Amino acid sequence: MKADLFAEAREAYTIPDAWQMLRLPGEPKPSCRSPFRDERTPSFTIFDDGKAWKDHATGDGGDVIEFILHAIGGDHRAVRDWLKERLGIDYYDHGDGKTPSRPAKVATASKPIQWPAELIEGTTATWKAFADRREITYAATWAMVQSGVLRFMKLKDGTKCFVATDPENRSAEIRRLDGMTFGTSKAFPLPGVNKSWPVGCEQLRHAPATASVLITEGATDLITAIDLYTRYRRDHGGTLSWVPMAILGAGCKDLAPDAAALIRGRHCRLVPDADEAGDRMETHWTALLRENGSSVDVVKLPRGTDLTDCKNDISPTDLFSL
C-alpha cells in the first residue's frame, strides 16, 4: 500500500501545528491576526477543528497544505520537500506529485529473518489505534510506517503484534499490541535476527552528514524516542537532525561493519535502561562507539526506569539538544 503524503499530512497536522512548526508570528486562534502580513484588526480564522483556515482580507484559505504553501512560498513540490524534511522521511516522487515510495531494498542478511506471519503496513485506523494505545502522536506513527521502521502482523493464534524493523529486514523485534508477554518473554522469538544491526540504522543512509544518533535499548524505547523526536521537530521548533535507533537488548555487544561505517564520526547519545544490564551496555557501547570514531554522551534515567517510563518527564528539547 502506498501512502499519499499530502493526505496523511492533513490527517496528522492541524493549522496550529503547522503554524508552530513554521515558527510564524502571533498566536493561532479561531479568530486572530494573519501570520502572513502585518495587520491591526484580526481577519484570519481557523475552523473545522483546526483543519481549515481563511484570510478574509485577501480571500485566501484552504487546508494545512495550502497554509504551508502560503508560508514558505514556491509550489506544491516545495511543500512536499518541506514535509519530508520535517518528518525525516525520504520520498521518491513518481512525477504524479502525490504518491511516494521507498527506495528499493538492498541485499538482506545471508540468513533472512523467519517471519511467523505476514508483515503489513496497516491502515489509517491501525495507525491511529496504535498511537492511542502507545500514547504517542499520530504523526510519529505515520512517519515510522512510511520509513519502514514500524510494521504490524497477526500470529496464527490471532495475537496482534507490532514489529520494529528496518527496510533491509536485518533486525527486528516483535511485541504484542496489548502489552502482554509471550510467556516469560516480552519479545516473540525470531530466528534470523542480526542484532549487530541496530533497528533504524538504515535511516542514516538518507540523513544529513551532520545528523546525530540517539541509541536506545529495545523496540518500545525506540518508538518512544521517535515520538519525542517528532514532538521536538514539530512543537519546539527543533532544528537539529537526529536518527533514533535501537540495539535489541543490553546483551548485544557487536556492531555490523556497514552499520559502523554509517555511524562513524557522528555524535552518539546513549539512552540505556537504568539497571545493572543497562550499566554494562553503557560501558561497552561507549567504548565501542568511541573506537569507531564517534563522540558519545549518555542520558541518565532514574534508577529502575527506561525511556518509555520517563517519556512524560523528559523534555524533547533537552533530549535532542547538543
Architecture of the domain delimited by 201-319? 3-Layer(aba) Sandwich (3.40)
Question: Can you state the percent helix, strand and coil of the chain, rounding each to 5?
Answer: 35, 15, 50
What confidence score (pLDDT) does residue 98 get?
Answer: 39
CA distance 142 to 12: 8
Spans of all domains in the chain = 5-87, 201-319
What confidence score (pLDDT) does residue 19 get?
Answer: 85
H or E element at residue 175: strand 173-176
Continuous H helices in the chain: 5-12, 15-21, 64-72, 76-87, 124-134, 138-146, 219-235, 257-263, 276-291, 316-319
Full-model pTM: 0.69
Is residue 85 very low, low, confident or very high in pLDDT (cuts 50, 70, 90)?
Answer: low
* Collapsed DSSP state (helix, strand, coil) of residue 269: strand
User: Which DSSP string corresponds to 192-255?
Assistant: T--TTS-BTGGGGGGS-TT-EEEEEESHHHHHHHHHHHHHHHHHS-----EEEEEESSTT----
* 34 pLDDT more than 50: yes
8-state DSSP, 296: E
H or E element at residue 163: strand 160-164
pLDDT in tens, 240-289: 899 999 998 888 888 999 999 999 999 999 999 999 999 999 999 999 99
Most confident of 7-21, 27-41, 291-305: 291-305
- Same fold across 5-87 and 201-319: no
CA-to-CA separations, 73 to 56, 65, 86, 116, 150, in angstroms, rounded: 19, 12, 16, 48, 33
Is residue 79 very low, low, confident or very high in pLDDT (cuts 50, 70, 90)?
Answer: confident
* 178 pLDDT more than 50: yes
Is residue 2 very low, low, confident or very high in pLDDT (cuts 50, 70, 90)?
Answer: very low
Q: What is the mean pLDDT of the chain?
A: 85
Q: What one-letter code names the amino acid at 222?
A: L
Instruction: HSE, CB side, 13 Å, CA atoms: give it for residue 222.
Output: 29
* 11 pLDDT more than 70: yes
CA distance 294 to 290: 5
Which cell is 163 given? 514489529
Residue pair 244/269 in contact (Cβ under 8 Å)? The answer is: no
CA distance 259 to 205: 10
Most confident of 5-9, 57-61, 242-246: 242-246
Average pLDDT over residues 138-158: 92
What confidence score (pLDDT) does residue 77 get?
Answer: 82
Tell me the pairing of strands 267-271 and 295-298.
parallel
What confidence score (pLDDT) does residue 99 get?
Answer: 40
Which CATH superfamily, name and number, covers 5-87? Zinc finger, CHC2-typedomain (3.90.580.10)
CA distance 29 to 16: 8
Average pLDDT over residues 154-173: 90
Tell me the pairing of strands 242-247 and 173-176.
unpaired
* 147 pLDDT more than 90: no
Is residue 61 very low, low, confident or very high in pLDDT (cuts 50, 70, 90)?
Answer: very high
Nearest in space to 16 (alpha carbons), one of 42, 38, 35, 3: 35
Beta-carbon neighbour count of residue 43 at 10 Å? 16
